[in-house]
Amino acid sequence: MSRKRLFDIIQIGNKNDLPSRLFDYFITTIILVNLVVTFVLTFTLSEASLFWLQWVERITMILFTVEYILRLWTADYLYPGKSRGRATLRFVISFYGLIDLLTILPYWLPTETIYGMGVFRIIRVVRIFHLFRVNSQSDAYNVIVSVLREKRKQLASSISIIAILMLSASFLMYSVEHNAQPEVFDNAFSGLWWAVSSVLTVGYGDIYPITIAGRILAILICILGVMITAIPTGILSAGFSENFREARLIDTSQNTLFTIPITGENMWVGTKAKDIYTRNNICVVSVIRGKIQVDMDKAVIQAGDILVCKA
């Protein structure tokens, strides 16, 4: 088997290649088996059960190691514009390359001897991120990622408002309650702990105000918290609604041409027009900037552009 064919098989999400799809299912199964074994090994087990589970873990880790070596060996096909050495290094320092490495490295290192604590090997749990690599090819996953990307500025603003509210609430509650119960609200962090557990409706009950002023302040803060913490939910709901309307527009348009105006918040700003081919199979056939049609080979999407597309 050639290296190129091996690369095609081990790449995730090639739906038109049966061996590649079977490999995806196989790796997903191995990841789940390994996670289950890691979970079960935390219990008190008989020697026989422990023996077999450790063997299952060893086999899955060998398979992970072989997969990692194969990905290193075929990395130049993943980064065709780079030399073999540079492509290998690029994969090693990439997000999923690091996940793969952290998955297998702690198992083979004598961590109990080197670090003096077996708990270090818990870092192997990062292998669960392999599941994100598999899910990244699904439409549902792409919808979530797309909405988060498009609404990232609004989400960042709403989260900053929530952070400001919590920080202000912590100082106010500390100021009001410190004299009444100094052992409970002994510093501003105690007020922050109360604010987080109250505003996010966790309500542990280990810290609470006892003065009249503190309780009135708590009522106001909780009411504001309920209203403000609902903002990110509304933003995400609006994003999913917009995405659904876009999908319906594409479904009804079939192969007819339609236009998409680009705003400053659009995720395609800064993307080359010829590189746009979304999860809904949108193909950009022309870019209109002002009254001029931009050369498709050189066009980089800007705010204010109008994309002429075909589904």
Q: For residues 223 and 1, which has the higher predicted lDDT (pLDDT)?
A: 223
pLDDT, the chain, mean: 79
Retrieve residue 83's tokens: 């030399």
pLDDT(145) > 60: yes
Pick from 82-86, 140-144, 189-193, 246-250: least confident: 246-250
pLDDT band at 56 (very low <50, low <70, confident <90, very high): very high
Regarding whether 79 and 194 lie in a shared domain, the answer is no
At which of 207, 238, 269 does a domain end? 238
Q: What pTM, to 2 d.p., does this model score? A: 0.56
Residues 6+ apart with CB under 8 A from 181: 210
Say if residue 280's pLDDT is above 60.
Answer: no
Residues 227 and 262 in one domain: no
Q: What percentage of residues in the chain have a pLDDT greater than 90?
A: 6
Share of the chain above pLDDT 70, in %: 81
Q: Select the more confidently predicted residue: 261 or 278.
A: 261
**What pLDDT is recorded for position 55?**
93
| The pLDDT value given to residue 114 | 46
182 to 186, 191, 203, 219, 230: CA distances (angstroms) = 5, 11, 20, 21, 33
pLDDT in tens, 171-185: 998 899 988 998 888
Looking at the domain assignment, is residue 194 inside a domain? Answer: yes
Domain hosting residue 261, numbered range? 254-310
The set of residues, in sequence order, having a beta carbon less than 8 Å from that of 100 and lying 6+ positions away, is: 64, 67, 68, 71, 130
Q: Is pLDDT of 112 > 70?
A: no
Q: What is the mean pLDDT of residues 12-20?
A: 73
Q: What is the pLDDT of residues 113-128, one digit of tens each?
A: 444 444 555 555 666 6
CB atoms within 10 A of CB 23: 18
Least confident window among 35-44, 119-128, 234-243: 119-128
Q: What angle do CA 2, 4, 6 make, to 5 degrees?
A: 70
Domain assignment present for residue 81? The answer is yes
In a domain, 144, yes or no: no
Q: Using CA atoms, how far apart are residues 211 and 97, in angstroms rounded to an integer?
A: 55
Instruction: Identify whether residues 80 and 110 lie together within a single domain.
Output: yes
Residue 268 has pLDDT above 70, yes or no: yes
223 closest CA partner among 204, 245, 198:
198
Please compute the mean of the pLDDT values over residues 235-248 and round it to a whole number: 78
Q: What are phi and psi of 55, to 5 degrees?
A: -70, -40
Q: Are residues 117 and 12 in the same domain?
A: yes
In a domain, 143, yes or no: no
Most confident of the ranges 55-59, 123-127, 206-210, 245-249: 55-59
* CATH number (domain holding residue 57): 1.20.120.350
CATH number for 222: 1.10.287.70
Residue 276 pLDDT > 50: yes
User: Would the pLDDT of 275 be above 80?
Assistant: no
